[in-house]
């Protein structure tokens, strides 16, 4: 199911991304991995996974606290919405 990310998800995952990127960069520097595209890509991928997990955790906690949010269950809902909007546009 698809849900729109909350503002907290965006804020927390962005902060976590930069902290994780800094941390992984430092750890790989200490282990002697030379600077370059490989290390940069590895840092980016690891920080992205950690950030995604943190954002998902924020959504899970928010869902437990506030209850479930509106979710798109299938593409038929979107199709019905677009049909309704086009009918309203033709009326005006």
| Residue ranges covered by each domain of the chain | 7-91
The helix (run of H) or strand (run of E) holding residue 32 is none
Given a contact cutoff of 8 angstroms between Cβ atoms, the answer to whether 1 and 71 are in contact is yes
The pLDDT of residue 3: 56
Measure the CA–CA gap between 67 and 33, rounded to whole angstroms. 45
pLDDT, tens digit, for every residue of 58-78? 888 887 887 755 555 566 677
The pLDDT of residue 4: 61
- Give yes or no for residue 1 having a pLDDT over 50: no
Measure the CA–CA gap between 34 and 66, rounded to whole angstroms. 46
- State the sign of the Cα–Cα–Cα–Cα dihedral 53, 54, 56, 61: positive
- Give yes or no for residue 27 having a pLDDT over 50: yes
The pLDDT of residue 81: 78
Average pLDDT over the chain, rounded to an integer:
83
* pTM: predicted TM-score of the whole model, two decimal places: 0.65
- Give yes or no for residue 43 having a pLDDT over 50: yes
State which of 9-13, 41-45, 54-58, 63-67 shows the largest mean pLDDT. Answer: 41-45
Measure the CA–CA gap between 79 and 16, rounded to whole angstroms. 36
């Amino acid at each position: 199911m698809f849900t729109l990310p909350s503002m907290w998800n965006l804020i927390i995952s962005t902060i976590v991304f930069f902290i994780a990127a800094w941390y992984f960069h430092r750890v790989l520097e200490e282990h002697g991995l030379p600077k370059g595209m490989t290390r940069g890509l590895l840092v980016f991928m690891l920080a992205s996974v950690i950030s995604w997990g943190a954002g998902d955790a924020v959504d899970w906690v928010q869902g437990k606290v506030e209850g479930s949010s509106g979710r798109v269950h299938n593409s038929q809902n979107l199709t019905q919405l677009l049909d309704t909007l086009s009918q309203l546009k033709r009326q005006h």
